[in-house]
Amino acid sequence: MRQSSKMLSTKKVNGRVYTPNYIVLNILDLCDYSGIGILGKHIIDNSCGDGAFLVEVVRRYCEIAQSHNVSDSQITLDLGKFIHGIEIDFDECQKCRQNLSEVADCFGIKSVNWDVNCADTLTVKKYDGKMDFVVGNPPYVRVHNLLDNYTDVKQFSFAQNGMTDLYIVFYEIGLNMLNSTGTLGYISPSSLFNSVAAATMRKNIICNNNLKKVVDLKHFQPFEATTYTTIMILTKEANPFIDYYEYDQNNFEPFVVSRLNYENFVMNDSFVFGQKDVLERLQEMVLYAKCSTAYIVKNGFATLYDDFFIGNWDFDDYTIPIIKASTGVVKKCIFPYDSFGNLVPFDGLIKIPTIREHYYAHIDRLKKRSLEKDSHWYAFGRSQGINDVYKRKYAINTLIRDVNDIKLQVAASGTGVYSGLYILTDLGFDELQQTLFSDDFVSYVSILGKYKSGGYYTYSSKDLSRYLNYKFVERSGYNYGQFAIS
């Protein structure tokens, strides 16, 4: 990747995160890169760094070849012919060649002409359609951190949705490198299960049935960075089903949980993995939740400058009480809108001296916000939640581990909500509380797989709406049992 190191750290720019050896072993085993079948097979790590994957590849190749009486001279030729790497950093590339020579030397193999290229993977095409295996830990770099090669990234079809990440493009590159029977194995962020950025990639996988195996590492983090990861095994050949694994972090190895059909884990264009019977229940929930609008769930205010709008102000004009759903704390919010949600003219607003002073003290910062279309500089940055201020609702947080983390509060008419969600319903508080303060709800949230640090899970307004309305339908006559995960 052609990047400037003057502006960003090497790790952030190049996405270089070194792979623990046990992850290397996991991926190669899941790809079935073992035994006599690896001889004469092309394998590449297209972001190889100093060679974490390729060192193990060379070790396996030499061990198998010698155990089957392949001559050392032939092994020397094979290592240069069938094992490939790409790395943009010159020093890392040199280290990789040195590390490969050292492991080959342990088997008495000398003078290998290593095919490790110092190049930009985004522009390398010579391996396309030729690889039996593509493995690695592709770089994690958000597109806004890409400097010189932004145009190169956006030419890929997998990079057309949202604020993409470089690792998503590497999936496309890797699939392009595979031959007709090839296998790809990467470790990458599990956000690809549901992110907007990975939407095209997911559609491609669904269309071609590329996915063969998935390992969800859940809250276990093999890297220093707080990234939640998955191991994905894809093939060029279509797969009628996939094997879903979870991770034994004590023994550092995956274990099979379920064999799934595509219709089991594809939900609303996202991927959700788990035990087959649980996923069938979740599919049922998605279907029957559409039968009810008893609960409407929305996102709270997005002012884009909370320190200006929200505080313990010593004035009351143009303010309303506001609940921080994530903590339950109540403060005051400057609310430049009337009771119908219409923006108050600025000239009228600043007739109040305290309001005028407050606005003019922060005018530069207010005008620098990235406002939604047709929004005024003195208004909230987003319109969400404004029209529901004068409705009775319930504020709820979105970050939980168990029932004890749930914060549900009544937000009376005239009260705003931010930093979380709010629920609109004509049904009573007790019924809502009973539905949400349950292991059933926590199990539902955990199966969505939206991991946060500290063992927490998060969920969206759509996720909560689906659960609440499904439960309402269930109470209203459909008897589908509990969603609890055993």
Q: What CATH number did the domain enclosing 233 receive?
A: 3.40.50.150
**To the nearest whole number, what is the mean pLDDT of the chain?**
91
Residues 69 and 24 in one domain: yes
Whether pLDDT at 420 is above 90? yes
Residues 202 and 351 in one domain: no
**pLDDT the model gives residue 17:** 63
Cβ-count burial of 259 within 10 angstroms (0-12 exposed, 13-18 middle, 19+ buried)?
Answer: exposed
Q: Choose the final residue of a domain: 272, 307, 326.
A: 272
Whether pLDDT at 423 is above 50? yes
**pLDDT the model gives residue 162:** 63
Residues 326 and 265 in one domain: no
Alpha carbon separation from 199 to 41, 244, 379 (Å, rounded): 32, 20, 32
Residues 305 and 234 in one domain: no
Q: How are beta strands 393-396 and 408-411 bridged, if at all?
A: antiparallel
Whether pLDDT at 127 is above 60? yes
The predicted-structure confidence for 274-283, as pLDDT tens digits, reads as follows: 999 999 989 8
**Helices and strands in the chain: count of H runs, count of E runs:** 17, 22
Query: pLDDT band at residue 4, thresholds of 50, 70 and 90?
Result: very low
Give 475-479 contacts, CB < 8 A, sequence gap 24+: 476/292, 478/288
Cα angle for residues 338, 342, 344 (degrees, 5° grid): 65
Give CA–CA dist 239/68, Å, rounded: 32
The predicted-structure confidence for 357-369, as pLDDT tens digits, reads as follows: 999 999 999 999 9
Q: Kindly state whether residue 352 falls inside one of the protein's structural domains.
A: yes
Residues 173 and 315 in one domain: no
Residues 251 and 304 in one domain: no
Q: Kindly state whether residue 279 falls inside one of the protein's structural domains.
A: no
353 token code pair: 């001296």
Residues 197 and 336 in one domain: no
Q: Nearest Cα to 303, choosing from 277, 327, 272, 324?
A: 324
Residues 251 and 342 in one domain: no
Residues 314 and 265 in one domain: no
224 token code pair: 């220093």
For residues 395 and 409, the answer to whether their CB atoms sit within 8 Å is yes
Q: Kindly state whether residue 98 falls inside one of the protein's structural domains.
A: yes
Whether pLDDT at 343 is above 50? yes
For residues 361 and 350, the answer to whether their CB atoms sit within 8 Å is no
The beta strands (E) that lie in 366-473 are given as: 393-396, 399-400, 408-411, 416-418, 421-424, 451-452, 456-458
**pLDDT the model gives residue 480:** 47
Q: Nearest Cα to 298, choosing from 69, 464, 449, 438?
A: 464
- Min mean pLDDT across 117-131, 223-237, 372-386 is at 223-237
Place of tokens 């290229």: 117
Residues 259 and 305 in one domain: no
Range of the domain at 313: 296-424
Query: pLDDT band at residue 475, thresholds of 50, 70 and 90?
Result: confident
Q: Provide mean pLDDT across the span 54-70.
A: 98
Q: Kindly state whether residue 442 falls inside one of the protein's structural domains.
A: no
More confident residue, 289 or 309: 309
Q: Kindly state whether residue 174 falls inside one of the protein's structural domains.
A: yes
Q: Kindly state whether residue 42 falls inside one of the protein's structural domains.
A: yes
Residues 238 and 327 in one domain: no
Whether pLDDT at 288 is above 90? no
Q: Kindly state whether residue 486 falls inside one of the protein's structural domains.
A: no
For residues 481 and 420, the answer to whether their CB atoms sit within 8 Å is no
Q: How many domains does the chain have?
A: 2
Residues 192 and 331 in one domain: no
**pLDDT the model gives residue 146:** 56
Query: pLDDT band at residue 163, thresholds of 50, 70 and 90?
Result: low
Q: Kindly state whether residue 455 falls inside one of the protein's structural domains.
A: no
Query: pLDDT band at residue 148, thresholds of 50, 70 and 90?
Result: low
Query: pLDDT band at residue 154, thresholds of 50, 70 and 90?
Result: confident
Determine what percent of the chain is predicted with pLDDT higher than 70. 92
Q: Provide mean pLDDT across the span 441-462.
A: 93
